[in-house]
Amino acid sequence: MTRRMILVLLVMFLARPAGADNWPGWRGPTGMGLSAESNLPVEWSKTKNIRWKVELQGAGVSTPVIWGDYVFLTASDGRLNDRLHVFCYHRADGRLLWQSRFFGTAPTDQFAPGGMAVPTPVTDGKHLFTLFGTGDLLCLDFAGKPVWIRSLAQEYGPFRNRWGMGASPILVGTHLIVQVDHWSQSYLLCVDAKTGANRWKTNRAASVNWSSPLAVKFKDHTELIVLGTYRAMGYDLATGAERWHVKGMGMQCIPSPIVEGNLLVAASGENTLAIRLTGLVTRSGDLTSNVLWINKKAAAYLPSPVLYRGQVYLAGDRGINTCLDAAKGTVVWKKRFGDQFYASPVAGDGKVYFPSKEGVVYVVKAGPKFDLLAKNDVGEGIVASLAISNGQIFLRGEKHLFCIGR
């Protein structure tokens, strides 16, 4: 068996929940917007196939996080959006189980719809870890009680970013990873999830970015794939040391990376490129030669792409969505939807879901032929990405949280 074949077999994704029905953090169980579930909803409206909806408080565009019977959501309000909220709802009927309130230590610039609640929390099934734009990193138990709280703003300086903090924390075993790219000293931080203490902190030569990291496990180590300021980079999970970098990204990166088999796909507002993972295990330094293809005409500025069944799906903030062949980077189809897209698409059950800022979720059949299955209007704007759990879709609108299911 060749080294490449071994690598493809050994690359796997971390931060998976104990059960496939949970959506534990940003972009779900794989960290890439994929669901392994079947019989997912196709059609709904303001009333059709709506299991329940609840009115939301404050600003926020974090994705709902679902574990078992619990649905977690964050928000902020107040004149400076420095009053922070964590909500827990019951997934069966949407009733509020508890709400925890905190005061932010360093409110800063913000993306208006999101306030200080843009990052999506992450859970290990026992605790909820959440980061706010005020620089506050919290660990709560499932009753809403604080286990530990840190102010990264007080320790390392406020987040200085014209649209606020957008990167979501990820959990890899007991390693809690936070990417902070801003006008001050940027850094990648690894925190012990149990105690909140630092395991390591690595400074980054990066400016303003909003991308979230992705964990990938190889044969003998785990790497963190991080995008930002002209580069894709790989860091060792155990030490925080940079292992490699690839040039070709845009200056400011918002989308998060995705991986399938031997292929890493990264998008920025300037282009989309694919990197061969072969060789990243044994080599270090500048590995730009590992770039397989670059498509400068297919790019995603805000939404993260989804890589599903050999094709890359990109949602454009200007209303043009694109499907690329993952192996070649060539356009499979390109369609003008008309709406704007801020939320990231998700895929599962042979379908790709594109939520638009205008409040319509376009459901497209996955595959090389464009086939629009449904246009579902919930009657209010959508900026937050969708969550899928146990055959249901959880949608955060501008005013309500919806549970959609047949």
Choose among 169, 173, 206, 205: nearest CA to 189.
Answer: 169
The number of distinct structural domains making up the chain is: 1
What is the pLDDT confidence band of residue 109, given thresholds at 50, 70 and 90? confident
pLDDT tens track for 15-55: 333 345 899 999 999 999 999 999 999 999 998 999 999 99
How far is Cα 266 from Cα 229, in angstroms, rounded to an integer? Answer: 12
Q: Are 324 and 305 in contact (CB under 8 A)?
A: no
* Residue type (1 letter), 359: G
pLDDT tens track for 303-323: 999 999 999 999 987 889 999
DSSP letters spanning 35-80: E---S------SSTTEEEEEE--SB--PPPEEETTEEEEEEEESTT
Model pTM?
A: 0.94
Bridge partners for 137 per DSSP: 131, 150
Classify residue 215 by its DSSP letter. E
**pLDDT for the residue 220:** 83
Q: Of the given ranges (126-140, 219-233, 274-288), which has the lowest mean pLDDT?
A: 274-288
What is the pLDDT confidence band of residue 281, given thresholds at 50, 70 and 90? low
- Could you list the residue range(s) of the whole structural domain that residue 333 is in? 3-404
pLDDT tens track for 118-160: 999 999 999 999 999 999 999 999 999 999 999 999 999 999 8
3-state secondary structure 326-390: CCCCCEEEEEECCCCCCCCCEEECCEEEEECCCCEEEEEECCCCCCEEEEEECCCCCCCCCEEEC
**pLDDT for the residue 124:** 98
Pairing mode of beta strands 222-228, 231-236: antiparallel
CATH code, domain with 137: 2.130.10.10
Share the mean pLDDT of the chain: 92
How far is Cα 136 from Cα 151, in angstroms, rounded to an integer? Answer: 4
pLDDT tens track for 74-108: 999 998 899 999 999 999 999 999 999 999 998 88
Which residues, other chains included, contact 397 with Cβ-Cβ below 8 Å and sequence gap of 6+? 56, 359, 378, 379, 380, 381, 382
**pLDDT for the residue 282:** 66
pLDDT at 246 over 50: yes
**pLDDT for the residue 111:** 83
Which stretch of DSSP H or E encloses residue 180? strand 175-180
**pLDDT for the residue 302:** 92
**pLDDT for the residue 192:** 98
**pLDDT for the residue 17:** 36
**pLDDT for the residue 83:** 95
